Structure 1
Amino acid sequence: MPSSTLQWLSLVAIIWLQVINGTNTNFPAYSSQLKQLLSISQVELNNLAFASDAGKLFGWFSGLAAIYLPLWLVLIIGSFLGLIGYGLQYLFITNQISYLSYWHVFFLTFLAGNSICWINTVCYVVAIRNFLSNRQVAVGLTTSYQGLSAKIYTNIVDVVSSHNKAKTFLLLNSIVPVVVCFILAPIVRENEVKNSKHSSVVFALMFVITITTGIYAVISSLPIFTNKISSLGVLIGILVSLLLPLLLPISVKIKELVESLHKKRESLRIYHFTMEENIDKESYVKESEDSCEVEDGCVMEEIGVKLMLKRMNFWLYFFVYFFGATIGLVFLNNLGQIAESRGCSATSYLVSLSSSFGFFGRLIPSLLDYFYRGKCTISRPVTMAGVMAPTAGAFFLLLNKTDIALYISTAVIGVSTGAITSTAISTTTELFGTNNFSVNHNVVVANIPIGSFLFGYSAALIYRNQGNGDGKCMGVECFSNTFIIWGSFCCFGTFLALILYFRTRKFYSQNH
């Protein structure tokens, strides 16, 4: 039986992969500069943001690949897609490639967006298989770290280059995932260890490290902090916090060595007794633990994608995500233009703020799962409804022209979007099972590119109509109608989440 140290080491590796995999979340930090470099309009820029999300339309390819190919190969394929997508764009804007049409850039952005699905699929599958009875906790905890991607990339760029940020972002987006994936590919794999005696304690320590990291990320995003400490100092602090999870597999390994030494001493002391009865007892206990582990799965039913698409619960769930997390992601994609139109120059600060609060948003469902583990008492639809309602309020708050309203709304939308994104992973497994998760969940998140196009394109059109002859719009009115529309849709999404709750309440009550 493999050591459980490898199990926890794989969790640390997934955390690092999630940290570097949110390359699309830093788009707002350089979108305005990219718009100038490519000499494109706001509508065309929005189309590029849509292209990144549109890569998820074919995310189910990565799901199929995870079924038929080794997971390390799926990981490498994903990183190379990102290298091509972002790398060729970097070569173009640095004039190392003489010509790329706008549609070439669109396709490359699409390819880069699809690469994220491949890496995410590997992370989700390994976390679910390695921590079956705690899969919601493991997936939610590791996914939360993707909320730090934008902040980390932004801090690196601030340290490396104060000018040409678009070029630096594209270079980092292309190289960093490839390097990290190659290093971690041998570690991110399924381990046969089904249960760990100390999983509860280790997860508790992991939560302490994660929450501490999140608090530091939020505090280091505040202007009062950044004015006193350099970008390099902030970056070093973040990198050190990302090394702290290594203490967990190290402590587990030490514990295993101590237990192994203790067992050897015991066996020497009682060597004249037969060990057959003890072995039988250990097998029985282990078998009982494994059966409880499966029972703790709390799955409504195991179904494939074709049957899933025929279920009303799927479409309710699909549109709850569509009117919740997807609208939040569209807002974050347009954060650079929203800040610019309001005369707010702190775009990097806003991106770091949304990233840091998105981190906590992704972590909240995992914390709830940890405290109610094994009971399945948490209704996912209620959780999504609970975080969508504040999102609607945040959009209406944006009608206020003050910067503080922009900061508060960005933080709230970051939390809500992160929470729904994390909760959705557990919802997919509970409603449709774990056997076909890699394909099913990629079908669910296909709503993101659809929403990105519809919501983003309409926002760009409203922006253009409100602007002057050169296509630039300044003032709160540039996005005010958009915020009213998005807030209304969030209210409707909250209503759909409540309908889904009433349709699934029997399932959650049975697993109380």
Structure 2
Amino acid sequence: MPPTALQWLSLVGVVWLQSISGTNTNFPAYSSQLKHVLSMSQLQLNNLAFASDAGKLLGWFSGIAAVYLPFGSSSSSIPSLSYVQIFALTVLAGNSICWINTVSYVVSIRNFPCNQQVVVGLTTSYQGLSAKIYTDVVGAVFSHSLFERAKAYLLVNSALPLIVCFIVAPIVKDIDVLGQRNVDAWFIVMFVITIVTGIYSMISSLGSITSGMSALDNLIGTGVLLLAPLVIPLAVKDQNDGTVRSVEEGFKEGEEEADREVQVRDVGVREEIGAKTMLMRIDFWLYFLVYFSGATLGMVFVNNLGQIAESRGSSRTSSLVSLCSSFGFFGRLMPSFLDYYISRSKCMVSRPGLIVLLMVPMAGAFFLLLNPTNISLYISTAIIGVCSGAITSIAVTTTRELFGTENFSVNHNIVVANIPLGSLIFGYMAAMLYHKEGNRDGKCMGMKCYRNSFVIWGCVCILGIILAIILYARTRKFYLKRHDQSHS
């Protein structure tokens, strides 16, 4: 297979990895059942949500490994064990997500140096589908009894990543490609496939809520769309087999591509700095707190979505999780779509500026949750899914732009270390307020359970908007200069 076809095949492998990497995102779909089966309190349940995020505290190990070791992915299983054992293995499983993500980011950046932002955004968007994929697999394959459903999620969470990693390990690797011919045309094809996947995901999620579409139908449709990107490396192979170029043409194309790569790297990065230097910068801490008040807060909401739905009397937790996952998919795709088209126009929207625009509706969604109707729950869940997903996607390229590419794998894993911190602070706060409002057995029903949490989360999000505006002001000159150079 020609190098260009292998390059796109590697991208397909990254898409599959990202699609199954979010094993922690389906936690709310079975958290209530798990709480009942293990007779846990709300605080103990929050411990498990925190444990999954706590694995990211050691995520920088995967960044170091990406520099010195061959690529590979890991997974961990969680059988029916004691609470302490489940906690420890959940930490390990959370850390394995960092390894999968680091491999995906680094391979995407290295294989498409002139389209880094677009590729990272495209592949990262598929992580937003993880929760939907897992809920569809469980709904289609396993029974719906209280115990079996929780057990099924744990089994699928441990087995599916291992299977997919085994399949894609031979194809996810660095591909040395000098010339990238017709790359724009193939990106358009990839965008079409991805957008269709997102539309189908949203329609099927809404169908599960309104008309009760079967999980098996949803799973088959999603599976077909996940296989669809394979048409690109197959088409590239056919195209290249029928094309004969002289050595001189190939050498000239390689020189042009190399010059373009150097130009992109020089223009696209503010400075190349290591982790120690980054931690001394004010912009890093502003960026860290903005992420903490935006994307991390959205993840805490998702972790509590099972108990939020239960307290409001909703029985469609799995459908809510799928809805949040589907809209999160589009949120993650949106920055990549904007990158691709804005970079070819004279418009300029900086990353911090986009984050400001995304956090405004997100703050409003938290306050909308104070409305007791089910429609407000669905709308707020969709908004938070879109906005937190988009911020997560934007953050990957923001880290690279502000702090450089050379140490990206370590630097970004330091940035996302704010996720377990937010899970600990916001999650425990919500759990304590839930416990305070609950009855003697620790169960809480009604709007009172999360009312104060929604207010606090909304206020924190507003604070994040202010910090994002400050970061926007401090980085505005860099993004203006970058825009002018790229269009000069």
TM-score (norm 1): 0.91
Q: How many residues are treated as equivalent by the alignment?
A: 477
Residue among 187, 203, 212 paired with 1:203? 187
- 1:16 matched to 2:5? The reply is no
Letter in 1 for 2:94: G
Matched, 1:292 2:260: yes
Superposition deviation, residue 124 in structure 1: 0.4
Q: 1:195 to 1:398 in 2, by over 3 A?
A: farther
Aligned counterpart, 1:388: 359
Within 5 Å, which residues of 2 pair with 1:136-215? 136-161=117-142, 162-163=144-145, 164-215=148-199
Question: Does residue 71 in structure 1 map to residue 52 in structure 2?
Answer: no
Give, in angstroms, the shift of residue 286 of structure 1. Answer: 2.3
Kindly provide the amino acid, as one letter, of the partner of residue 327 in structure 1. L
Match in the other structure for 1:367: 337
Q: Decide whether the 8 Å contact of 1:26 with 1:154 is kept in 2.
A: yes
* Offset of residue 238 of structure 1: 0.7
Q: Paired residue for 1:127?
A: 108
Task: Indicate whether 1:104 and 2:85 are aligned.
Answer: yes
Counterpart residue number, 1:453: 424
Contact 1:130 1:194 in 2 (8 A): no
Q: Secondary structure at the match of 2:205?
A: coil
> What is the distance in 2 between the residues matched to 1:426 and 1:502?
18
Shift of 1:284: 3.9
User: Following TM superposition, by how much is the alpha carbon of 1:378 offset from its aligned partner in structure 2, in angstroms?
Assistant: 3.2
Q: Is the 8 A contact 1:2 1:193 kept in 2?
A: no
Alignment of 1:214-363 (within 5 A): 214-223=198-207, 227=211, 229-260=213-244, 263=245, 279-280=247-248, 282-297=250-265, 298-363=268-333
What are the superposed Cα offsets for residues 358-386 of structure 1, whole Å, 9 maximum, x if unpaired? Answer: 00000000000111237894310011111
Separation in 2, partners of 1:169, 1:66:
30
Whole-angstrom CA distance in 2 between matches of 1:444 and 1:186: 29
- In 1, the alpha carbon distance for the partners of 2:179 and 2:293 equals 38
SS of the equivalent of 1:301 reads coil
The amino acid across from 2:429 in the alignment is: S
Residue 35 of structure 2 is matched in structure 1 by 35
SS in 2 for 1:222: helix
Tell me, what secondary structure is at the counterpart of 2:450?
helix
Unaligned 5+ runs, structure 1 = 93-99, 264-277
Kept in 1: contact 2:12–2:229 (CA 8 A) = yes
Q: Secondary structure at the match of 1:91?
A: coil
SS of 2:307's equivalent?
Answer: helix
Aligned residue in 1 for 2:436: 465
Q: Structure 2 vs 1, CA of residues 313 and 443 (structure 1 numbering), >3 Å: closer, same or farther?
A: same
Larger Rg: 1
The more displaced of 175-184 and 333-342 is 175-184
The answer to whether the 8 A contact 2:20-2:130 is kept is yes
Q: CA deviation at 1:293?
A: 2.0
* Counterpart for residue 3 of structure 2: 3
Question: 2:212, 2:280 → 1: CA distance?
Answer: 56
SS at match of 2:476: helix
Question: What is the identity, as a one-letter code, of the residue corresponding to 2:114?
Answer: S
> What is the deviation of 1:280?
5.0
**Deviation of the 1:333 alpha carbon:** 0.4
> Alpha-carbon deviation of 1:105?
2.0
Give the distance between the partners of 1:348 and 1:228, measured in 2 at CA: 12
Shift of residue 230, structure 1, vs aligned partner: 2.4
Q: 1:306 to 1:472 in 2, by over 3 A?
A: same
Identity of aligned residues (%): 61
Structure 1 position 279, deviation (Å) = 4.5
What amino acid is the match of 1:233?
D
Equivalent residue letter for 2:308 = I
In structure 2, what is the equivalent of residue 275 of structure 1? none
Where does 1:418-433 land on structure 2 (aligned, <5 Å)?
A: 418-433=389-404
Contact 1:134 1:373 in 2 (8 A): no
For residue 110 of structure 1, what is the amino acid of its counterpart? V
Among 463, 479, 482, the alignment partner of 1:492 is 463
Would you say the 8 A contact 2:19–2:127 is kept in 1?
yes
1:305-338, Cα deviation, whole Å (9 max, x unpaired): 0000001110000000000000000000000000
Cα distance in 1 between the residues matched to 2:213 and 2:327: 20
Paired residues of 1:12 and 1:245 also in contact (CA < 8 A): yes
AA paired with 2:326?
Answer: S
Partner deviation per Cα, 1:414-442 (whole Å, 9 max, x = no partner) = 00110000000000000011111110000
Distance (whole Å) between structure 2 residues aligned to residue 464 and residue 219 of structure 1: 36
Give the Cα–Cα distance (whole angstroms) in 2 for the partners of residues 52 and 505 of structure 1: 36
Would the aligned equivalents of 2:55 and 2:91 in 1 still touch at CA under 8 Å? Answer: yes
Cα distance in 1 for partners of 2:309, 2:365 equals 15
- The answer as to 2:85 corresponding to 1:91 is no
- Secondary structure of 2:105's counterpart equals helix
> Do the aligned partners of residues 65 and 173 (structure 1) sit closer, same or farther apart at CA in structure 2, a change above 3 Å counting?
same
2:372 aligned with 1:410, yes or no? Answer: no
Q: Out of 97, 122, 126, which is 1:116 matched to?
A: 97
In 1: Cα distance, 2:356 partner to 2:338 partner: 15
Distance 1:438 1:204, change over 3 A: same
Measure how far apart 1:501 and its partner are: 0.8
**Cα separation, 2, equivalents of 1:203 and 1:473:** 49
- Tell whether 2:367 aligns with 1:378: no
Give the gaps of 5 or more residues in structure 2. 484-488
Residues 49 and 224 of structure 1, relative CA distance in 2, 3 Å threshold: closer
CA distance in 1, matches of 2:208, 2:215: 13
Assess if the C-alpha contact under 8 Å between 1:131 and 1:194 holds in 2: no
Aligned-partner SS, 2:198: helix
Q: Equivalent residue for 1:97?
A: none
SS in 2 for 1:25: coil
Question: Are the counterparts in 2 of residues 2 and 191 from structure 1 also a CA contact under 8 Å?
Answer: no
